Every structure is written in C-alpha cells, then in structure tokens.
Amino acid sequence: MHSLNTMREQRASKVAEMRSLSEAAQSANRDLDTSERTRFDTLESEVRGLSTRITDAEKLAEFERLEERGEQVSGPIGRELRGYSVAKALTEGMNGRLSGLEAEMHRELSRDRSETRGVMVPTEVLFERRDLSTTTPADGPGSNLIATQLGSLTDRRRAALKVESMGATVLRGLTGNLDLPRLTESGSAGFVAERADATRSDVKFAKVGMTPKTVSAEYAISRRMMLQSQTALEPLLRADLGYLLSQRLDAAAIMGGGANEPVGILADADVASLTAASLSSDLTADLIAALELDDVTGTTAFLTHTSVLAQARKIKDGDGHVIPLAELFHNQRVEASTQVPATSPDPLAYPLIYGEWASLYVGYWSGVDILVNPYHADVASNGGALLHAFLDADVVVRHKEGFRWAEVN
C-alpha cells in the first residue's frame, strides 16, 4: 500500500503544479507560453499514466483483500488451455469416459460443487472471444460442416460485448455467496484547543452481495455432426455456445431487471441518472462532472448504443465542420454496442452511460456446465443429442456513485 499512496501523492503534486501554471497565466490574463504549455502537457500525460497505475493497484489490493478472507478470485485462467477441446469433452462425456486435459479440468471445476449436471468447461475456453444438422441447407446449416473438403468456418454477425473489456472487475471460481463491504461515510477531523477533547464522529459501512444466478442455452446437434465434423464443431461450440451465454450476461450487466437475473447498471435504483437531453459536449461534460463531484478517480469511459455513436459522428459546429469525437466526449474513451437497450420506445431513445467500470463486478461460480442429452424425444430416434449449457454468474454495481447515465433524445 506504500507504493499506492506514493503514486497518489505524486499525482496530487503534479495536478497542483498544473493548477499553478494555469492560475499564473490566468492572473496575467494570457495563455500559457510555449514552455508552460510543454510542461503542462507533460504533466497531463504523467497524471493520466499515474491514474491508470493507481486503478490497477487498487484492483490488485481488492483482490488481495478477498484472498485474505478466503475467497478465490481466479480459477483455471492461468492454466494452459490451448489444447482443450470442447467437442472432445462432450463426446467423451456422453460415454462417461473423460480423459486428458478435459478430465482434469472437469475434476477441478466440479471439486467444490455438490451437483454437476454434465461436463464442466472453463469459462475462459468458451468466452474467448442452434439447431445443427448435416441435412440440406434448406433444413439446417450443418450440411456445410461435413468434412470432405471443409473450408474455414465463417461466423455470423454478433453484437459487440463490451462490459468486461471496458474494465469490469471479474471474479472467477467463486463458491459461496459473496458480500462486498465498503466504507460509505467517514468520520471528521478538526482542530482543538490545548487539553480539549477531540470531537467524536462515526463511520458508516454498507455492502452489496453477489449470489449465483443461472443463465442457460440449449440447441441440438445430429449424430453425423458429432461423428463427422468434430474439427468444425470445436470452433462452433466455442464461438456460438460461449457467445450465447456471455451475450446474455453482458446484457444483464447493462440492464438486468433482477429476480432471476442480475440487476444491471440502468436498472439499479441507486445509480443516478441525469435529465434526458440531446447529445452534446455539454451533456458529456455534465456526466463527467457528476463523477468528479463524487470524487471518482478511476479509469472511466462512455458506453452507448451504436445509433447514438452514429448521431455523434454527424454533429457539426457553427461553421458546418464535424466535431471530432475526442472533443465531443472530452478525450474520454467511448464504446458502442447494440447490446445497450432502448430506454424509451416512442420516441426511440437510448442511454449514454459514463462510469468507472471497475466498480462493476462480474462473478463466476466455477465453469460452464454442459449436459449432453441423447435421450430426449426430439433426438433419441435419430441418434442426435441436445446440448444444455448452464452458467452460474452474477453482476453487481459495487460503487453506485461510479456510474451516471442520461437518455439521449
């Protein structure tokens, strides 16, 4: 923690020097001269670098605190998984004879579970980035996967999944329910007269809890698909099955409604929103200022729907020149995805979310549980199988002040 405090002090010192340069120029009613501007820009770059390092150090400190309480914050992610085959695991799992790396990972992932429905697959394998048969294209897409001379598999268009890539805090390998405590209100300090007693004050704490919630997917594969196209089936299982689960979790992180699914950012009653407004640099500045007023200092970024970003690219100044996105969003990172839902159907409107994304926690309870069911009436007569995939995960906004959003009209 000494290095973390040192970095904070260094950042504060550099910010103070930047303020001093700016105030000196303002008091003389002039702009920064060449040397002052060079120094100011250098300090700005150093402050941004320190902020990134501080955020990383804070994440590491949080993980260390979790480990001290006995919580596992990472699963088999550090293991060598390039040789793992999902298709092999499913094929051998049907016969109850898992072997090799697939058997080893299944044992490790199911070690602390009282019940395992099928084959346990590491989330890292499926999340690296429906009905399948080998009949004619009119009846199903699997006909293109029979390996005589098999070309490379072309994936379908998919919505961009942004939540984890924007810096959400990911906890893997969880077993029990997880409470995340935090200090919500500090005491106070003040000067006192000689021999006078200090003023007593109280501190307040709060916590948010994470409990596993199950997201599932199901689709069918034919007997020939499993026998003839295992090479093609492997990337398909990784890309499609993993995407189905991670897409639903990503959407829940943005606007999950609770009950059987997590409560997402937009649905969290404690995450404040600003008044709906047209997209402008004023709106983005207000969102940034809202976090700054709450002393949020971590790495921040904007997330919105692709339609809003398309609108942003068309905004022009008074002379008809397109305003660069860097200016419109004040040099903050901005990402867009069709995963962000509409917040108003008529007229259609989408949210613009600004947040310290490390305040969003994504927790995984073990791996993906895949059950191969060859006995269902829909597939038993033709020798196929149904794949049922289950993932236990949860998403919570740990620090509510770390996010703000506004509807763009």
Q: Is residue 85 part of a domain?
A: no
Predicted confidence at residue 139, as pLDDT, reads 46
pLDDT for 16: 86
Say if CB 374 and CB 387 are below 8 A apart: no
Asked if residues 300 and 356 have their Cβ atoms less than 8 Å apart, the reply is yes
Which amino acid, one-letter code, is at 94? M
pLDDT at position 292 over 90: yes
Q: Please tell me the least confidently modeled range out of 50-59, 107-116, 303-312, 368-377.
A: 107-116
Reply yes or no on whether the pLDDT at 322 is more than 80: yes
Q: Is 158 helix (H, G, I), strand (E, B) or coil?
A: coil
Mean pLDDT on 385-402: 90
With tokens 């500045």, the residue in question is 285
Cβ 121 vs Cβ 105: under 8 Å: yes
The pLDDT value recorded for residue 213 is: 92
Look at strands 368-373 and 204-210 and give their pairing: unpaired
Let me know whether 229 and 378 are in one domain: yes
Residue numbers of the domain that contains 194: 181-208
Per-residue b/e over 106-121, b at no fewer than 16 CB within 10 Å? bebbbeeeeeeebbbb
- How far is residue 192's CA from residue 181's CA, in Å, rounded to a whole number? 32
Write out pLDDT tens, residues 164-204: 889 999 988 887 888 887 766 666 787 888 878 777 777 67
The pLDDT score that the predictor gives to residue 141 is 45
The CATH number of the domain where 143 resides is what? 3.90.1690
- Separation CA 305–CA 318 (nearest Å): 26
Residue 109: inside a domain: no
Q: Which residues lie closer than 8 Å to 243 by C-beta, 6 or more apart?
A: 129, 158, 161
> Does the residue 143 lie in any domain?
yes
SS3 284: helix
The confidence band for 149, taking pLDDT boundaries of 50, 70 and 90, is: very low
Q: What is the pLDDT of residues 77-87, one digit of tens each?
A: 445 676 788 87
Confidence category of residue 67, pLDDT binned at 50, 70, 90: low
> Token pair 């329910």 is at which residue?
177
128 shares a domain with 38: no
Rg (CA), the chain: 26
Task: Check whether residue 248 and residue 327 sit in a common domain.
Answer: yes
Higher pLDDT, 334 or 373: 334
Same domain (yes/no): 43, 148: no
Judge if 287 and 355 occupy the same domain.
yes
Spatial distance between the Cα atoms of 375 and 385, rounded to a whole number of angstroms = 7
> Are 261 and 298 contained in the same domain?
yes
- Is 50 exceeded by the pLDDT of residue 138? no
CA atoms within 13 A on the CB side of 379: 21
Q: How far is CA 271 from the centre of its chain?
A: 17
Predicted local distance difference test score (pLDDT) of residue 148: 43
Cα-Cα-Cα-Cα dihedral sign, residues 309, 314, 317, 323: positive
Regarding whether 59 and 202 lie in a shared domain, the answer is no
- pLDDT tens digit string along 123-133? 777 665 434 44
Write down the pLDDT at residue 154: 56
Of 261, 291, 293, 408, the residue nearest 357 (C-alpha): 291
- Could you tell me if residue 259 is inside a domain? yes
The residues pairing with 389 across neighbouring beta strands, listed in sequence order, are 217, 370
* HEC assignment per residue over 379-403: CHHHCCEEEEEEEEEEEEECCHHHE
Query: How high is the pLDDT of residue 360?
Result: 95
Assess if residue 116 is contained within a domain: no
- Domain membership flag for residue 84: no
Q: Which of 141-145, 159-163, 366-370 has the highest mean pLDDT?
A: 159-163
The phi, psi pair for 273, rounded to 5°, reads -120, 150
Residues 195 and 228 in one domain: no
For residue 32, which phi and psi values (nearest 5 degrees)?
Answer: -65, 135
Q: Structure tokens of 290?
A: 């809202």
Residue with tokens 């099928």: 118
Instruction: Assess whether 176 and 187 both reside in one domain.
Output: no
pLDDT tens column, 199-242: 777 767 778 889 999 998 887 777 776 665 555 666 667 667 77
Do residue 197 and residue 310 come from a single domain?
no
CB 351 within 8 A of CB 304: yes
- The answer to whether 89 and 98 are in contact (CB under 8 A) is yes
More confident position, 263 or 97 = 263
| pLDDT classification of 341: cutoffs 50, 70, 90 | very high
Please check whether residue 82 lies inside any domain of the structure: no
Overall size of the chain counted in residues? 409
Is there a domain that residue 94 lies in?
no
- Based on the domain organization, do 236 and 360 belong to the same domain? yes
Domain count, the chain: 3
Residues 11 and 139 in one domain: no
388 within 8 A of 90, measured Cβ to Cβ: no
Sign of torsion over alpha carbons 13, 14, 19, 20: positive
